[in-house]
Amino acid sequence: MKTSTAHLRRRLLSSVVPVAVLTASLLAAGCAVKPEPLTAEENLARVRKDLGVVLTPQEPLTKAVSMDEAMARAIKYNLDERVKLMEVAVATDQLDLSRYDMLPRVVAAAGYVGRNNDAGSESLNLATGRRTGESTTATDRHRRTGDLAFTWNVLDFGVSYLRARQNANLVLIADERRRRVVQGIMQDVRTAYWRAVAAERLLKRLAPLEKRVEGARRDARTLEALRVQAPLQALNYTRTLVETLRQLQSLRRELVASKSQLGALMGLPPGEPFEIEMPAASVMQSPPKLDVGAEALETYALLNRPELLEESYNQRISADETWRSLLKLLPGIDVNAALRYDSNSFLLNQRWADYGARISWNLINLVSAPATKSYAEAQEELIAFRRQALSMAVLSQVHVAVLQYRELKQEFALTAEQADLDTRIRSQYTNVGEAGQVGELGVIQSEVTALLSDLRRDLVLADLHNAYARVMVSAGVDPLPETMAANDLPTLTQAVSRGLSSWQDRANSVMRVKDLMAAPKTAAQEAPKPEPVKQDAVKQKPVNKPVPVATVPTPTPAPAPVAAGPAPAAMPVVPASSAAQAPASSPAPAPVPVPAPVQAAVSAPAPVAPAATQVASPVATASFSPVIQAELGAYASHRLAEKEWGIIAKRLETEGSGVGALYVASRRSQDGKTIVQLRAGGFTDRAAAERFCHRVKDSQRECTVRTLSAQEQQSDSQTADRLASL
């Protein structure tokens, strides 16, 4: 007995000692961790690596840099822009990773299990309460195991899907932040460019004037030493020269860093020389033109400001977070299946497959469900209020930017006039100085005054360009297109130039805020009321104002613009109700191509038959239903509406789907301007129209499903002034 006890003690010690040694080693390693600063070699390697990225060679500067090229270089090589591009790339990679979270888990595992003795056991007879006295085992001392398990949680799939949608919105948020950085960079480049132009223009005149003032100061000291003049007069003369020299040096200090700032914005290495393309004299004398009203800029800003779009995406994320919180309250359903292997020799089947399903529900979640839902809804409301407050701030920024631009424009006009007067005064001083009628000090002071006036004019021009760029930033103008054929510098420069020259047309094409706030008019309200026709009337009074025109685009090329005059007699009037009531067996005439909206004064219309004997006009069927339509917005011209439909049709690939466009022109009652409403039709039911609108809204465009009432259809059928049916 003693021998067995000693043997057991030795075996216990032999198993405990290695564990104790391993534990002590781990504790010693953990306590040995201390702060280790970078070594000199590691720090030097870091600097070399960073400089290799920062000072990456750019495309060579082969000519003077224009403002468009400077903006293009800043967009391509500016480090802040690169950081935002990397953030977009990281968000995209995170989205790709989150898609894998929706997949089920498939886990392969292999292992080895061993022990130092047998896993034996005895049995107990429950009837007698006695042990059987026999020790048995059903497990080998050393075993090898392996399994391939499939697990899928339905609730986790829903949560992962919502998380992937949130990551997709985070990608869009990162892109909006990149847009905001690009807009700020372009504003800074514009300001730095015009300050650098002012420096290039004036520094060439500054150096010879400084030499002349320095020479006059030496002469003044000589005259003071020789006592040619009275001491007080000589000292005042010298003091005036010193003050003039101080002003010139202050000007140099203000201008000398402008070119370096422009180079830094373009991503050039510090100190690298480059030339600036000097604008023409006419450009220096004329400020940038802003032909967009404040109301149009307000709407454009509300539609395009990156901050507002970012908050809209945050609202999407918050809505998905609400659904995630509600999904977590539901029971979880686990589906599992596995292939398993165990080398235990006592097993009858060493290879087998098992499968099953399990549902689990934390009942405590039922108690917290109302609070969870209330918190999620409060989060959504907070984001909505924050976006609305930001919208108000955006409107204020647009107004302030426009006011500053107008004030600086007036200041530039006065400064330019003052500079012209000082230049003419300097010419007079130069003439009388050459004639000996005035001293050199008066000539120098006139030249300094003219130089200061030119500098003030150029600096005010730079501030005016900065105010112009601030208007663009406040309106959310992005001069770059969504996609470009290439990313080389010439292509990027051309894209910047086109964007800067066309953004005002895009801003003028949007609706005004007051029009957006007004309730949308129905077709019956938009259509003019038909005058009652008398039985003895043979002709109508001439119509002096243009009427709403609806045009249906067809695959045939658009005809040339029609001159003002009566409509051709061959073009039938197509009531919508007639198209709806046409029998299916009767052959439908070919669709009539309709030109763009034409505002024509009808001087002598054709006689109108009495109402009781009117004959129905020929029916021209269209490829879309007049009942269900999707309103896509209103535009200032038919060309802009047609261009917008081209973009939507290309993105949604509507060709061959039966969906067509409508262009309905109407006149606003406030100012009499024509507004072209863009609509889409051809939907089999309202659900199809809502699916179409959902896809349009995914492209950040407005879309509203609209069903025409019987009254509206009847009004359309009675409106004989429309040139095409809905």
Query: Which of these ranges, 15-19, 493-497, 704-708, has the smallest mean pLDDT?
Result: 15-19
User: Measured between alpha carbons, how far is 192 from 262 in angstroms, rounded to an integer?
Assistant: 5
Residues sharing a CB contact under 8 Å with residue 575, sequence separation 6 or more, in sequence order: 616, 617, 619, 716, 717, 718, 725
- The phi and psi torsions of 65 (rounded to 5 degrees) equal -85, 125
Average pLDDT over residues 245-257: 78
* Candidates 3.20.20.140, 3.30.70.1070, 3.40.50.720, 2.60.120.620; CATH matching 521-556+618-726: 3.30.70.1070
Helix, strand, or coil here: 339? strand
Residue 667: what residue type?
Answer: R
Return d(Cα 345, Cα 342) in angstroms, integer.
9
Using pLDDT thresholds of 50, 70 and 90, give the confidence band for residue 515.
confident
CA distance 71 to 65: 10
SS3 category, 257: coil
**Residue 539 is which amino acid?**
K
Torsions phi, psi for 483 (to 5 deg): -135, 145
pLDDT confidence bin for 562, thresholds 50/70/90: very low
Domain boundaries in the chain?
Answer: 521-556+618-726
For the cut 50, the answer to whether the pLDDT of residue 69 exceeds it is: yes
**DSSP H or E stretch at residue 148:** strand 142-153
User: Is residue 145 scored above 90 in pLDDT?
Assistant: yes
Q: How many CB atoms lie within 10 A of CB 30?
A: 8
pLDDT class for 21, splitting at 50, 70, 90?
A: low
Q: What is the mean pLDDT of residues 510-516?
A: 75
User: Which string of DSSP letters, residue by residue, matches 595-638?
Assistant: -S-----BSSPPPPPPGGGPPPPPP---SS-SSEEEEEEEESSH
- Long-range CB contacts (within 8 A, 24+) of 367-372: 368/329, 369/326, 369/329, 372/325, 372/326, 372/329
Mean pLDDT is highest, among 32-41, 298-307, 588-597, 643-652, for 298-307
* pLDDT, position 330: 85
Q: What's the pTM value of the predicted model, to 2 decimals?
A: 0.60
Return the pLDDT at 601: 35
pLDDT tens digits along 205-234: 777 877 777 777 777 777 777 776 677 777
What percent of the chain has a predicted confidence (pLDDT) above 70?
A: 74
| pLDDT value at 354 more than 90 | yes
List beta partners, residue 667: 674
What value does the mean pLDDT take over residues 517-528?
A: 52
Mean pLDDT, residues 365-372 taken together: 83
